[in-house]
Amino acid sequence: MIPQHETTGVQPALPPVTSPKIWFITGASRGFGRVWTEAALKRGDKVAATARKLASIADFSEKYGDNVLTLELDVTKPEQVKTVVEQAHAHFGRLDIVLNNAGYSLVGTIEEASADDIRDLYETNVIGPVSVIQAALPLLREQGSGHILGTSSNLGHVTLPVIGYYCSSKWAFEAIHESLAAEVKAFGVNVTIIEPGAYATEFGSQESLKFADALAIYDDFKGHFINGLRNLERGDPEATPEALFKVVDSENPPLRFFLGSHNLPDVRAAYAARLSTWEAWESVSSSAQGVSK
């Protein structure tokens, strides 16, 4: 495995892109997408802001004029993705930052969710971002520069019950971006996975959640779980843009970046528990290696 900082190949010696930077953002209508779109525009950057319903982002054009291009985009439609990415690139002349932010959570136990529920989730949370990446990469390679950002979650490292399929989509998202980072570094393209913890965004709203058909046997369990979520300390999304700007303005941005103060302790504990289990079973694991031939 080749971590991003050990990627082979020669990266072009390019000067950093001066401000204003040009962003392409999916899911710009609410949550982090809206917060980051507005913050980028306020600092003088230019943004191609996309959402499934154009009316939901029309106010950006009214406030920021030619600095913003609002486009309708459903990331589950690959041909539309390609057209919209190319339109944004042609409009601004380049794309410096491609931010995959569109996504939602599926609420339901592993037994409850149907195959269609899971496919739909992956179409938006995994296949959709891949479509954006694949549409943008030829343009970024031609530029010899660019920064691909993906909004993941601390749940890309740990899991919770009842939203296990959402967690699994973020684990897949993380693996794809880690592989991507090694593949595109030599082209002058950086990759960063943004991993927020719990924040007071609209992500917990009905528009950002889908529910699997319920089985009564899990009602009590899910009730306790959901009540526990209500007591979580949630961060202020308006506090996040400056941290994000430090990442995108860095000459050596990280592959992974936590947003919030709770993530590192939680992930540190989870990995310590995994290492402890692997080490406890090391002799049994090693015995399965057999004799090399």
Active-site option among 21, 46, 170, 185: 170
* Whether residue 170 lies in the annotated active site: yes
* Whether residue 152 lies in the annotated active site: yes
Radius of gyration of the chain (CA): 20
Closest CA relative to residue 222, chosen from 168, 266, 163: 163
Query: Going by C-beta distance under 8 Å and a sequence separation of 6 or more, which residues neighbour residue 123?
Result: 76
Which single residue is written with the structure tokens 């917990």? Answer: 204
Active-site option among 104, 122, 165, 166: 166
Residues 193 and 171 sit within 8 Å (Cβ to Cβ): no
The two three-digit tokens of residue 121, written as one number: 């989730």
Amino acid sitting at position 127: I
* Whether residue 261 lies in the annotated active site: no
Q: Is 73 left (phi over 0), alpha (psi -120 to 50) or beta?
A: beta
What does the alpha-carbon distance between residue 30 and residue 165 come to, in Å, rounded to a whole number?
A: 22
Active-site option among 105, 131, 152, 169: 152
Amino acid sitting at position 158: V
Q: Which residues are catalytic?
A: 152, 166, 170
